[in-house]
Amino acid sequence: MQCFAVSRNLEKVRTEKKGVFMRDTIDLNWKEFGNALLNATPNGVVVFDNALQALISNQPARNCLGVYPGSFLAATVPSLTASAQRVLSGGAVETGLVVEKNDSRYSVLLGPVYHDDAAIGIIAIFEDMTALTNITNRMKGFQQLAIELDTIIDSSNDGLWICDGNGVVVRTNPASEK
């Protein structure tokens, strides 16, 4: 589990009985606190204005996607430009988008950011799904091996009974039924 510092000047005072931070004694720098919150997630988070220029990006978005404040969506992740325009014009959240960048796959959520009932930009959340894709591919490989093993067992002319560690039969082949 990662811990993120909210402020270098944050005075942490705990009550002796409960170990809880006392609200009155914490002097927060809200800009640093906001950055700490954004960087606390492993997902990339970027806020774009109406011109699709990045206003805010957290550390994962900068490191993995190359999206920095001031960069334009069309230059950094061009495949999302059309979807982002739809979100800005229609206000509906778009999910299920997939982006491939730097040998990684990301599931992307785009949602509008409102102020005074007007869309003033969008928020983009990039969830790295590379590990999930790799696990899925490995599972498909294991599934294929299981199918091949079943084919071998079923094609044997010898009667085979496969038992678990307690001697309970878990599988037989057609030859064992003859």
pLDDT in tens, 96-116: 899 988 888 899 999 999 888
**Which one, of 99, 104, 86, lies nearest residue 125 by Cα?**
99
In the chain, what are the domain boundaries?
1-40, 44-128, 132-177
In this prediction, residues 152-168 reach a mean pLDDT of 90
What pLDDT, on a 0 to 100 scale, did the predictor assign at position 27?
A: 57
CB atoms near residue 107 (< 10 Å): 16
- For residue 117, the model assigns a pLDDT of 83
Q: What mean pLDDT do residues 127-131 have? A: 86
Is 44-128 a CATH 3.30.70.120 domain?
no
Q: In degrees, to the nearest 5, what angle opens at C-alpha 48 toward C-alphas 104 and 29?
A: 100
Q: What is the pTM of this model?
A: 0.63
Residues with Cβ < 8 Å from 129, sequence gap 6 or more? Answer: 98, 105, 106, 107
Question: How far apart (Å, rounded) are the C-alpha atoms in residues 13 and 44?
Answer: 32
Q: Tokens 């809200």 map to which residue?
A: 30
